[in-house]
Structure 1
Amino acid sequence: MKDVVIISLLGLNMLFKLFDIIADTQLGVPELHILQESILVLLTAIGTIYLSYDLIRRSRETKKLAKQLINADKKIDNMSSHMRSARQEYSKAVSTQFHTWSFTKSEQQVAFLLLKGLSFKEIAEVRQTKEKTVRQQASSIYGKATVDGRHTFCAWFMEDFIQEHDQDLVNNYQ
């Protein structure tokens, strides 16, 4: 908006100067003065044209960026819904595996929190139990899952997701 006002003022200034030059010519004002005013009108015209061009260019860029932003928002919405769906499927797969390993309800809760990366202390606070109880449940979980600890337990669930990428890494190093 500010640019439009500036361009309009420059245009009006140029128009009034042009009328002044015409009046000066009719009044017989010295040619040097008319030449100076003509140069000022020319410079004002150049500035007005440049600002107009720049305003139009920026306006087009802004519209283009707005369209790109709308498209990006749509892609994010699609990705978010896809991620929600994938998360739900993954949670179901994890729950199914917990049932296969015969985890108790408490062990399932602790196992989910372990997979989310919470510490024993944090899990104890969330479940309002003692940290020692959480450690014992974690040991039971690791035993039933036949893994040797938290990292192996978490890796067990991630292995299938990174297996294809892992194979690409092996092929790149050979």
Structure 2
Amino acid sequence: MQGSERGVIAGVLLLIALLVVMDVVGDLRQGASAWHVALEILAAGLALLGAVHLLRSTLRLRRRLVRQAEDLSRVRAQAEAWRQQARRHVEGLSRSIDAQLDGWRLSPAEKEVAFLLLKGLGLREIADLRGTHEKTVRAQSASIYAKAGLAGRSELAAFFLEDLLVPRADLDPGLTRPAAPPAP
């Protein structure tokens, strides 16, 4: 049930309580029986309690929604700040890779192929993307590796990634599993 619906229902319950109180006053003037008046007072009281309960729960719901909206806004701001920071790092890495590829004296086509290789695309995918033959991409790849003094794709990726992926201090020297905790 939404807040506006709760407000309408609470208003209706308040109106019912008011009408029942007016009826009780009229019944008392006309000398109605005590049980009839008591029953109407109970009905008015229940309608009033229902209205108060709905109004209180609506106010709690609104406060909670305001807090959640504030939390969401804060989280969105943090996420955007993280995206901006990550974008700056990625752009810096891209410029560094580009500078290294220039240092290896790669042609513009070889640089494009090198970036696509680093992204993990296969030779066929690169050829399709660039509108060339797979043999052309294979030859450009071989030229890249020769100019860089690398044996292949894995060494090309490792050249740029090895310094980014430093091992955590809690890993064993073999980097296969976390180090065992010290014995008590």
| TM more than 0.5 | yes
Match of 1:125 among 113, 119, 128: 128
2:170 equivalent in structure 1? 168
SS at match of 1:161: coil
1:41 equivalent in structure 2? 44
Aligned mates of 2:24, 2:154 — CA distance in 1: 86
Alignment of 1:43-58 (within 5 A): 43-58=46-61
Aligned length: 173
Moved more, 51-60 or 32-41: 32-41
1:101 equivalent to 2:104? Answer: yes
1:158 equivalent in structure 2? 161
Aligned mates of 1:100, 1:11 — CA distance in 2: 81
Match of 1:91 among 91, 94, 111: 94
Aligned-residue CA RMSD (Å): 1.8
Q: What is the one-letter code of the residue matched to 2:179?
A: Y
Q: Scaled by the length of structure 2, what TM-score is found?
A: 0.84
Q: What is the one-letter code of the residue matched to 1:104?
A: S
SS at match of 1:102: coil
Q: What is the one-letter code of the residue matched to 1:15?
A: L
2:35 equivalent in structure 1? 32
Structure 2 CA distance for partners of 1:33 and 1:87, relative to 1, 3 Å: same
* Residue ranges of structure 2 left out of the alignment (5+ in a row): none
1:19 equivalent in structure 2? 22
Q: What is the one-letter code of the residue matched to 1:28?
A: G
Moved more, 58-67 or 38-47: 38-47
Moved more, 101-110 or 15-24: 101-110
How far off is 1:164 after superposition? 4.3
Q: Deviations over 1:145-171 (max 9, x none)?
A: 344432342233222222043x43237
Q: What is the one-letter code of the residue matched to 1:74?
A: A
Q: Deviations over 1:88-114 (max 9, x none)?
A: 110111112212333222111101111
Q: What is the one-letter code of the residue matched to 2:170?
A: D
Aligned mates of 2:29, 2:156 — CA distance in 1: 96
Aligned mates of 2:23, 2:125 — CA distance in 1: 82
Q: Deviations over 1:54-109 (max 9, x none)?
A: 10011001111111122122222222221221111101111122123332221111
Identity of aligned residues (%): 32
Q: Scaled by the length of structure 1, what TM-score is found?
A: 0.89
How far off is 1:18 after superposition? 1.1
